[in-house]
């Protein structure tokens, strides 16, 4: 697992050079615009709702003693909840809407690396968009469910500190999942893609770790996160498909 996580991270090393070599930047113009608009919208949304959620949670405590302490905890929890859900929504919105633009990028990378070694199906703009929406809606609900469970566990003393790491790993996994599916879309049905990513979850986490770290860089991170993460995921996924001979044309 750790080795695969490292390999997923290492795939970023040549991403920038490969994008320039294959002249792929033009394919990222619209996804970058989607990423910027979505990020701004979610930040404004989070700023507006964080206090309201904290106040709503604090009303659960009906006793006078400890009310101020619980209100403080509620505000912190509300802010954390909004930030986490905001990041979750951001990832899946931009990945779903960018699918028709990322699939050609992945295909060009595959053709560059393997030529016409493997046949794959040709899909339309609408099919790619629907596939992206379907995968990301599925991942969104899975991630929100796991996030809610982890946030509840975070209130347990002693083990609560571990939950922040676990939340980061969950976010990274589903970010990597979405990036890998731009390649898998051409070779696997929906269910087969899910199984493939599960078998290679370390690669998905490694790709997603860098994806999440990019989001910590103001503005520049939001601009570069898709081009570099999708390119890194595509090269590694293509390598896995080729080495394991798992390509299934449908």
The mean pLDDT value for 158-166 works out to 76
Query: Quick check: 155 pLDDT over 60?
Result: yes
Alpha helices in the chain (DSSP H): 2-10, 15-21, 29-58, 67-114, 125-153, 163-184, 190-199, 201-214, 220-244
Buried b / exposed e along 153-190 (16+ C-beta atoms within 10 A): ebeeeeeeeebeebbbbbbbbbbbbbbbbbbbbbbbee
Q: What is the pLDDT of residue 205?
A: 96
Q: What is the pLDDT of residue 128?
A: 86
Q: How many CB atoms lie within 10 A of CB 145?
A: 10
What confidence tier does 246 reach under pLDDT thresholds 50, 70, 90? low
The residue with greater pLDDT, 146 or 155, is: 146
Tens of pLDDT along 12-35? 998 999 999 999 999 999 999 999
Q: What is the pLDDT of residue 160?
A: 65
Q: What is the pLDDT of residue 127?
A: 86
Q: Where are the domains of the chain?
A: 2-244
State if pTM tops 0.75.
Answer: yes
Tens of pLDDT along 104-142? 899 999 988 887 665 566 777 888 888 889 999 999 999
Contact by Cβ (8 Å): 250, 126: no
Q: How far is CA 152 from the centre of its chain?
A: 22
Tens of pLDDT along 184-237? 998 888 889 999 999 999 999 999 999 999 988 888 988 999 999 999 999 999
Q: What is the pLDDT of residue 69?
A: 72
Spell out the long-range contacts of 104-107 with Cβ–Cβ below 8 A and sequence spacing 24 or more: 104/27, 105/24, 105/27, 105/28, 105/182, 105/230, 105/231, 105/234, 106/182, 106/183, 106/186, 106/230, 106/234, 106/237, 106/238, 107/186
The per-residue pLDDT of the chain, averaged, comes to 84
Residue carrying structure tokens 């946030």: 151
Q: What is the pLDDT of residue 209?
A: 96
Tens of pLDDT along 29-65? 999 999 999 888 887 877 777 667 666 766 776 666 6
């Amino acid at each position: 697992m750790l080795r695969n996580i490292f390999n997923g991270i290492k795939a970023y090393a040549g991403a920038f050079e490969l994008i320039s070599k294959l002249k792929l930047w033009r394919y990222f113009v619209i996804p970058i615009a989607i990423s910027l608009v979505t990020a701004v919208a979610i930040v404004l949304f989070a700023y507006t709702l964080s206090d309201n959620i904290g106040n709503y949670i604090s009303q659960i405590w009906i006793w006078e003693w400890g009310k101020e302490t619980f209100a403080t905890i509620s505000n912190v929890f509300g802010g954390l909840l909004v930030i986490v859900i905001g990041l979750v929504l951001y990832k899946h919105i931009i990945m779903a809407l960018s699918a028709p633009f990322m699939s050609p990028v992945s295909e060009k990378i595959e053709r560059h690396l393997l030529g016409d070694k493997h046949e794959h199906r040709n899909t339309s703009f609408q099919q790619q968009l629907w596939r992206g929406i379907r995968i990301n809606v599925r991942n969104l609900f899975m991630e929100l469910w796991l996030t809610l469970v982890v946030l509840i566990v975070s209130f347990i003393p002693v083990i609560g500190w571990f939950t922040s790491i676990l939340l980061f790993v969950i976010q990274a996994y589903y970010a990597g999942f979405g990036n890998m599916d731009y390649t898998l879309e051409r070779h696997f049905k929906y269910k087969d893609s899910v199984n493939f990513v599960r078998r290679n979850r370390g690669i998905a986490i490694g790709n997603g770790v860098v994806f999440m770290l990019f989001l910590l860089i103001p503005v520049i991170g939001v601009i570069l996160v898709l081009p570099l993460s999708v390119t890194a995921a595509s090269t590694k996924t293509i390598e896995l498909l080729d080495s394991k001979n798992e390509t299934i044309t449908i």
